[in-house]
Amino acid sequence: MPKRFRMTRRFPVAMTEDGYRRLRSFAREAGLDEGEALSFLFENFTSVIDHDNLEHRLRLFNSEMEKRKR
């Protein structure tokens, strides 16, 4: 059985409920824990994102975050 990668960094993360639910779902589907799933996503970021959609979705997310903070 292959050995799991050693996790070397830990940091506090604040996430929306929707984001955390999606992370947990993705991790479960992939057979990973949440930290491993985040590592996978960021290590492979350029190959797993839709470049055409990223800027638009980021603008929407940022505008929604501003509304939530009020």
Would you give the DSSP letter of residue 6? P
54 in any annotated domain: yes
Question: How many structural domains does the chain have?
Answer: 1
**What pLDDT, on the 0 to 100 scale, is given for residue 2?**
58
Residue 3: its pLDDT value, please?
60
Collect all residues with Cβ–Cβ distance below 8 Å to 30 and sequence separation of at least 6: 37, 40
Nearest CA among 17, 15, 18, 36 for reference residue 27: 36
Q: What is the pLDDT of residue 9?
A: 80
pLDDT > 90 fraction of the chain, expressed in percent and rounded: 64
Rounded mean pLDDT of the chain?
88
Q: What is the pLDDT of residue 68?
A: 78
Q: Is residue 3 part of a domain?
A: no
Q: How far is CA 69 from CA 15, 19, 20, in A?
A: 13, 16, 18
Domain range enclosing 43: 17-69
- Quick check: is 5 in a domain? no
Helix 34-43 and helix 17-30, axial crossing angle in degrees, nearest 10: 90
pLDDT: is 11 or 44 the higher one?
Answer: 44
37 contacts 23 by C-beta, under 8 angstroms:
yes
